[in-house]
């Protein structure tokens, strides 16, 4: 069993495949909280801090999440959706942290069926989960967008950077790349040192940096600094197209 918080057809807004029409599955639950990203929300009168997808992270919202208890039902729903779309789009499996479910029978059966159906799957992952590529070989056919968390996430480095898990992905996945969400303050502080430490672990992977922001307003506060940071260090700048276009609207 795994939790889905939403599914929708849209355009990938971030990273290497920004701009590509994609079908999104967003799972519920995460092994991190990332309060440093500063998205504020209120639960029972208490202000909490999280990331822009706090609604898929905080267990408080789990009563709104869908329990997926049948792989076959979801697989046939997805095929129906593709038929309505008129072609088989790329798929982005995001969260929360989707790979918390990497060994879940139902989750893996869905992934395997999509791979067999010719779907190009990208996992948007925080990279902290060690994948068992040997016993779950469909993951070898997937792309891993390693969205590793830096100091601005508010999480301790030892929780965010698990070298063995990262090397495992670099070695076995069809494709992987690094994606960092940074803000103007981090650019001035430790961003380059933190990224360089990670690149010592993963020297082969391309780096994409994008501005922190759960809204157009917060992106505008960070984009120029990140843009210039990428030019200075020969990294790829990634915008966040869905937030530019739809602002804080969910399910797009």
Residues that bind ligand SF4 (CB under 6 A): 30, 32-34, 51, 53, 57, 95-97, 126, 149, 153
CB of 33 to ligand SF4, least distance (A): 5
Rounded CA-CA distance 171/153 in Å is: 26
Cα torsion at 22, 131, 111, 121 (round to 10°)?
Answer: 20
> 29 and 6 in contact (C-beta within 8 Å)?
no
CB nearer to ligand SF4: give 12 or 82. 12
How many CA within 13 A on the CB side of residue 145?
27
Tokens representing residue 86 in the block = 């008129």
CB of 45 to ligand SF4, least distance (A): 22
> 5 and 68 in contact (C-beta within 8 Å)?
no
Three-state secondary structure call for residue 186:
helix
> 55 and 39 in contact (C-beta within 8 Å)?
no
CB of 82 to ligand SF4, least distance (A): 26
CB nearer to ligand SF4: give 34 or 225. 34
CB of 80 to ligand SF4, least distance (A): 28
CB nearer to ligand SF4: give 120 or 179. 179
Three-state secondary structure call for residue 24:
strand
CB nearer to ligand SF4: give 22 or 53. 53
> 14 and 22 in contact (C-beta within 8 Å)?
no
CB of 95 to ligand SF4, least distance (A): 5
CB nearer to ligand SF4: give 75 or 241. 241
């Amino acid at each position: 069993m795994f939790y889905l918080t939403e599914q929708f057809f849209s355009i990938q807004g971030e990273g290497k495949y920004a701009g590509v029409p994609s079908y999104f599955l967003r799972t519920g639950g995460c092994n991190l909280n990332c309060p440093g990203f500063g998205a504020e929300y209120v639960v029972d009168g208490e202000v909490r801090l999280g990331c822009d997808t706090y609604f898929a992270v905080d267990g408080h919202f789990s009563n709104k999440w869908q329990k997926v208890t049948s792989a076959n039902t979801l697989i046939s729903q997805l095929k129906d959706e593709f038929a309505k779309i008129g072609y088989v789009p790329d798929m982005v499996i995001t969260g929360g942290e989707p790979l918390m479910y990497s060994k879940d029978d139902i989750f893996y059966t869905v992934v395997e069926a999509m791979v067999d159906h010719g779907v190009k799957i990208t996992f948007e992952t925080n990279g902290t989960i060690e994948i068992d590529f040997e016993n779950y070989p469909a993951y070898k056919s997937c792309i891993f967008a390693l969205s590793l968390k830096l100091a601005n996430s508010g999480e301790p480095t030892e929780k965010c950077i698990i070298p063995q898990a990262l090397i495992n992905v670099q070695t076995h996945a069809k494709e992987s790349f690094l994606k960092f969400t940074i803000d103007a303050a981090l650019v001035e502080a430790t961003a380059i040192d933190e990224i360089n430490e990670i690149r010592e672990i993963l020297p082969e992977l391309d780096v994409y940096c994008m501005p922190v922001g759960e809204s157009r307003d917060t992106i505008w506060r960070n984009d120029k600094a990140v843009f210039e940071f990428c030019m200075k260090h020969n990294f790829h700048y990634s915008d966040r197209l869905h937030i530019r276009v739809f602002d804080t609207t969910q399910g797009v």
